[in-house]
Amino acid sequence: MFIGFDYGTSSCSVAYMQDGTPSPIALEGDNIYIPSTLAAPTREAVTESLYRFYNIVPDTQNGQASLRRAVAVNREEGIELAPGDIAFGQAALQQYLSDPEFTYYVKSPKSFLGSTGLRDAQLQFFEDLVCAMMANIKQRSEQALQEHIDDTVIGRPIHFQGRGGTLADQQAEAILLNAAKRVGFKHVEFQFEPVAAGLEFEASLTEDKIVLIVDIGGGTTDCSMIEMGPNYRHKQDRTRSILGHTGQRIGGNDLDIHLAFRQLMPEFGYGSLMRSGLEMPITQFWNPVAINDVPAQTDFYSQANKTRLQELYKNAREPEKLARLLQLQQSILGHGVVRRAEEAKIALSQQQQIQSQLDFLQDEVTITLTQQAMMESIQAPKLKMMRLVKEAVDQSGVTPDVIYMTGGSAKSPILRQTVADLLPDIPVVGGNDFGSVTAGLARWAQMCFGVSPSSVTEK
């Protein structure tokens, strides 16, 4: 059996082919999307649980060493793991919000896979994180279908988040491939996410068109100019029909982060003054919400930074705000702030003004947010996204017949209108904003495995 697997930055989903049509599989209750989140008692619990409860044995010396370290650390801290201690999706978020100080919580590990300068132990741990999430999804899918799933096509962005260029992309794809093999997929292929999204749209075309696919996901934006239609849809090699593509580590998460920074962090002291008249250092307010930046998060939650924050509190003109920042640091609440910003972004796409409540703080704070303030806050990442759209068109040297927008953030009427303004008189269409990539991956899986499964490949 084969599936298309969208291992997304914000959420994951899978689909199989049923009577020639992609069919999604429920992964969390009746929901076909499961947030890309994981919660555990400790960081080391993730690695130990793979071996203890999923029967996933490390396949390298580095992996075996990581497992030994994880078991030793958990024993030293008196942690005895039980089945179910690792939570995924909404359950992971709820576990984190209910007990943030004693929960190891990860959102969007895909954002970290292309990071440069990672040590072998860090690479191994990221692989374990991906492995745990894939194992959970594969297990749930097999339970739903009552069949073993051996083959998969996994979606990948044109460029993963990371500054290492081709090497970063190779590193990220290798982590995904190794994790997929460890959880039991025998045959694995990869397909670019915007191409997969286009395959689903192509199934509806009755004539050939040049399509600009704008895929705005949680962590990346990818834009591809592709020749599509009846004369292309059955070709296994689509390389020649790709006229141009661009991609960058900018996505819906960045909109959330910028909104959190500009509109919510002032309640924690951003923009306030010290007694000397100097402004508070900006990094102390950016780092806690920069949830896709490992070094920023590590620095903010360090013990050394706690000392720095205590000094800022003593010298603040508005110490009550710095007290909130100290609480945020000590209770590891940065994800909660960004979550409120994400909720506000969604609500402000339809309303002019909303009330956002930071109800996870000791002194609950209510903030009034406006659509205009949101648009100003997300201006920088929005401009980067539109630059990618323009560069894809310029690179191809042709004008698209139609613009197909997909991805979770493509639902935003603000982004859709911005694209329409950038390329006037070209129709902008959309489909299943979250599901088009998954459906396209399932179609490609049928191309790869429908007759006879191919061998595992690394591109």
- Per-residue model confidence as pLDDT tens digits over 89-120: 989 988 887 787 788 999 888 888 988 888 88
Q: So what's the pLDDT on residue 201?
A: 85
End-to-end CA distance of the chain: 23
- In this model, does residue 458 exceed pLDDT 50? no
Q: How many other CB atoms are there within 10 angstroms of residue 372's CB atom?
A: 11
Q: So what's the pLDDT on residue 140?
A: 96
Question: Measuring CA to CA, which residue among 274, 187, 245, 234 is closest to residue 455?
Answer: 187
Q: So what's the pLDDT on residue 454?
A: 40
**Do 334 and 297 touch, CB atoms closer than 8 A?**
yes
- pLDDT tens by residue, 243-296: 998 888 788 889 999 999 999 999 999 999 999 999 999 999 999 999 877 688
Q: So what's the pLDDT on residue 457?
A: 44
Question: Measuring CA to CA, which residue among 290, 334, 281 is closest to residue 308?
Answer: 281
Phi, psi of 274 (to 5 degrees): -85, 170
**Residue 150 per-residue DSSP state:** -
- pLDDT tens by residue, 338-397: 999 999 999 998 899 999 999 988 888 999 999 999 999 999 999 999 999 999 999 999
For residue 242, what pLDDT band results from cuts at 50, 70 and 90? confident
Tokens for 267, please give them. 């309640």
Question: Measuring CA to CA, which residue among 228, 194, 196 is closest to residue 211?
Answer: 228
For residue 455, what pLDDT band results from cuts at 50, 70 and 90? very low
Q: Rounded CA gap, 68 and 43, in Å?
A: 14
Question: Measuring CA to CA, which residue among 44, 39, 166, 163 is closest to residue 111?
Answer: 163
Query: Into which CATH architecture does domain 2-194+439-449 fall?
Result: 2-Layer Sandwich (3.30)
Q: Report the DSSP beta bridge partners of residue 315.
A: none
Q: Where exactly are the structural domains of the chain? A: 2-194+439-449
The three-class DSSP label of residue 93 is helix
Q: Rounded CA gap, 135 and 93, in Å?
A: 19
- In this model, does residue 451 exceed pLDDT 70? no
The mean pLDDT value of the chain amounts to 90
Q: So what's the pLDDT on residue 366?
A: 95
Question: Measuring CA to CA, which residue among 272, 258, 457, 283 is closest to residue 373?
Answer: 258
Q: So what's the pLDDT on residue 456?
A: 41
Q: So what's the pLDDT on residue 251?
A: 87
**Mean pLDDT within 298-323:** 95
